[in-house]
């Protein structure tokens, strides 16, 4: 089982890098799946510059590489900030460039912001549902006021670790349950 931890912000000074490292550290201590951080900084994707076509017909090599990365995972944990009551544009763009590669996979959300990033996650749940992704109920919301010292340095509490493990349990179990839907159908 491979779970991608998508770091959904590329903004200078982002706090998501600290959060994604924490998610990876907790996840690797479990031993029930392979986890990898997928940083959108490593996948520079221009604003939707592909026609809405199937995965076999992506025009640009960068899109084909992004598609292969997403396709290689069984499920995802998306780490997202909340920007202006919404999700970062770079994350929405990375999601919208693909379709089939996201289908029939589980997804959980770790968010941060003024209200823990909850409004961004509500929008992501709608977007991911349209892509036939199964979003899990467990969620980790991190407030800039309580989980970030001076709004900058991430300091998770034990309750955050408990919430993250619940989320990971659900992402792994749903990813396993959805595996038959991702298997190529015999013709």
Domain membership flag for residue 121: yes
Give the number of C-alpha atoms closer than 13 A to the C-alpha of residue 119, restricted to the C-beta side.
10
Reported as a pLDDT band with limits 50, 70 and 90, residue 53 is: low
Reported as a pLDDT band with limits 50, 70 and 90, residue 51 is: low
* Structure confidence by residue, pLDDT tens digits, 98-130: 999 999 999 999 999 989 999 999 999 999 999
The pLDDT assigned to 185 comes to 60
Which pTM does this prediction carry? Answer: 0.94
Mean pLDDT of the chain: 93
CATH number of the domain where residue 75 is located:
3.40.50.360
For residue 16, give the 3-state DSSP assignment.
helix
Q: Which residues pair with 134 in a beta bridge?
A: 106
pLDDT reading at 187 higher than 60: no
Spatial separation of the C-alpha atoms in residues 151 and 113, rounded to whole Å: 9
Domain membership flag for residue 187: no
Domains identified in the chain, total number: 1
Give the number of C-alpha atoms closer than 13 A to the C-alpha of residue 183, restricted to the C-beta side.
8
Residues 6 or more apart whose CB falls under 8 angstroms from that of 163 comprise 138, 139, 140
* Structure confidence by residue, pLDDT tens digits, 10-44: 999 999 999 999 999 999 999 999 999 999 999 98
Domain membership flag for residue 112: yes
Q: Is the dihedral of CA 39, 43, 46, 50 positive or negative?
A: negative
The pLDDT assigned to 83 comes to 94
């Amino acid at each position: 089982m491979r779970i991608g931890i998508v770091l959904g912000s590329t903004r200078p000074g982002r706090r998501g890098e600290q959060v994604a490292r924490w998610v990876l550290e907790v996840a690797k201590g479990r031993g029930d799946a392979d986890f990898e951080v997928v940083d959108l900084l490593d996948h520079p994707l221009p604003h939707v510059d592909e026609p809405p076509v199937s995965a076999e017909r992506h025009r640009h090599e960068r899109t084909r590489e992004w598609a292969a990365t997403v396709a290689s995972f069984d499920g995802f944990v998306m780490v997202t900030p909340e920007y202006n009551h919404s999700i970062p544009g770079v994350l929405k763009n990375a999601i919208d460039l693909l379709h089939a590669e996201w289908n029939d996979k589980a997804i959980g959300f770790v968010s941060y912001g003024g209200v823990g990033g909850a409004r961004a996650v509500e929008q992501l749940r709608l977007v991911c549902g349209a892509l036939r992704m199964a979003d899990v109920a467990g969620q980790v919301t991190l407030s800039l006021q309580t989980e970030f010292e001076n709004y900058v340095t991430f300091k998770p509490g034990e309750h955050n670790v408990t919430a993250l493990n619940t989320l990971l349990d659900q992402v792994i179990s749903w990813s396993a349950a959805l595996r038959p839907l991702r298997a190529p159908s015999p013709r």
